[in-house]
Amino acid sequence: MLITSLATVSVPATPAEAASSYGAKAVAIAASKEGAPYAYGATGPRKFDCSGLTLYAFRKAGRTLPRTAEQQYRSTRRISRRQRTAGDLVFFPAGSTMAHVGIYAGNGKIWHAPRPGTRVRLEEIWTENARYTRAN
């Protein structure tokens, strides 16, 4: 049998491209929650804390994350700052634990639920001490 045409199949060439399909969805979901109020322990859909927002966005995008920032950090693959791409997780350490997490949006910015009294927003990464991971 002679095959005269092949169907085009899109296969990710790099881990970043593989992450981008669900990562892009997670970024869009987080962005859709802009202005939602911060509430400690909240996981959406109307209120969030930092890890509640990441958990919610990734769950809606088709990936499962654990509940807290520390658990999310431990369960995802470390990447360098140079490897980060939209949809990766950005962690902010305090002592020996991860105290805060957001979703990398590109261009040095994250979507996050900052702290009590604030709302979900897009913000510049404010420290060089941030750590980056990718949900597999």
Catalytic hit among 26, 50, 53, 89: 50
Catalytic (active site) residue 100: yes
Catalytic hit among 60, 84, 100, 134: 100
Say what the alpha-carbon torsion angle 30, 35, 41, 44 is, to the nearest 10 degrees.
Answer: -60
Catalytic (active site) residue 50: yes
Closest by Cα among 61, 45, 39, 52 to 100: 52
Catalytic (active site) residue 42: no
Distance between CA atoms of 101 and 103, rounded to whole angstroms?
7
Cα atoms in the Cβ-side hemisphere of radius 13 Å centred on 126:
10
Strand partners, 124: 109
Catalytic hit among 33, 47, 63, 112: 112
Q: Which residues are catalytic?
A: 50, 100, 112
